[in-house]
Amino acid sequence: MSRVCEITGKKVMVGNNVSHSNKKTKRTFQPNLFNKKLFLTEENRWVELKVSAAGLRTIDKKGLKAALEDAKEKGFINKF
């Protein structure tokens, strides 16, 4: 599975390492991902997600059901 947050859609970004002499070499910025098992109370079941720290804050703010529906609408997940 790729390194993509299933709630926010955050994924690997590309940038540069910049040395003291200002030489630039390519590098990647990884999202802060966690494999979490969250309980969906509306359906009385557990849901396993790969979410970022920002995705966890979104779930805390909106609620799990609303966050999953938004992610499905935006195309980050197919089903939940």
Helix (H, G, I), strand (E, B) or coil at 14: strand
Q: Domain boundaries in the chain?
A: 13-74
Q: Which CATH number fits domain 13-74: 3.30.420.40, 2.30.170.40, 3.40.50.2300, 3.40.710.10?
A: 2.30.170.40
Give dist(CA 27, CA 47) in Å, integer: 33
pLDDT along the chain (80 residues), means of 10: 91 98 98 96 96 97 96 90
Q: What is the pLDDT of residue 79?
A: 81
Q: Which of 29, 48, 50 is nearest to 39 (CA)?
A: 48
Shortest CA distance to 31 belongs to which of 48, 56, 59? Answer: 56
> Is there a contact between 68 and 62 (Cβ–Cβ < 8 Å)?
no
Model pTM score: 0.85
